[in-house]
């Protein structure tokens, strides 16, 4: 009986391996579109007595690369040569702004209301409680796949 069970497990494993090796799942049009995610960031933002969720959507790898370049500077240092300086904090904040569908921190209406052209500053002023701003940053990291490695490993096993 245990030999039969082992054979069944081997067949299941082979079938799973065949599915994994199918490259057609990576072809254009076959990959699932990234979905928007609604998350409650603060109980301070309400409408008709209900907390209004923020809406997030992941940004592309190409856009992340562009933001990385935008947040990298180089300085010539005597004796060392050209030194790269990467502003990780600003980088993550820019990713957060671009991943936030609602509220749109880049909107002219919000920028004028908060008297700044910088969407990150708009977010800082709206999310004026430190924990809210931190939660917002964390959620945008999660939406873009920078967190949840353990969950992905668990899904891959199933």
pTM of the model: 0.75
Residue 2 has pLDDT above 80, yes or no: no
Long-range contacts of 127-134 (CB under 8 A, 24+ apart): 127/41, 127/42, 129/42, 129/44, 132/41, 132/42, 132/44
pLDDT in tens, 86-136: 999 999 999 999 999 999 999 999 999 999 999 999 999 999 998 999 999
Q: Which domains does the chain have, with CATH numbers?
A: 2-157 (3.30.2220.30)
pLDDT in tens, 32-79: 888 899 999 999 999 999 999 999 999 999 999 999 999 999 998 888
pLDDT in tens, 5-44: 555 555 455 555 566 688 888 888 887 888 899 999 999 9
Q: What stretches of 21-87 show up as alpha helix (H) in DSSP? A: 61-70
């Amino acid at each position: 009986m245990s030999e039969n069970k082992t054979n069944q497990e081997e067949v299941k494993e082979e079938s799973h391996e065949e599915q994994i090796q199918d490259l057609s799942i990576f072809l254009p049009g076959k990959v699932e579109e990234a979905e928007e995610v609604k998350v409650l960031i603060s109980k301070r933002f309400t409408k008709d007595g209900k907390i209004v969720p923020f809406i997030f959507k992941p940004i592309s790898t190409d856009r992340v690369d562009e933001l990385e370049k935008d947040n990298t500077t180089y300085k010539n240092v005597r004796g060392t040569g050209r030194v790269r300086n990467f502003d990780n904090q600003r980088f993550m904040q820019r990713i957060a702004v671009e991943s936030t569908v609602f509220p749109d921190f880049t909107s002219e209406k919000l920028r004028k209301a908060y008297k700044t052209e910088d969407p990150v500053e708009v977010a800082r002023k709206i999310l004026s409680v430190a924990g809210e701003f931190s939660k917002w940053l964390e959620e945008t990291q999660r939406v873009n796949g920078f967190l949840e490695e353990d969950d992905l490993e668990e899904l891959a096993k199933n």
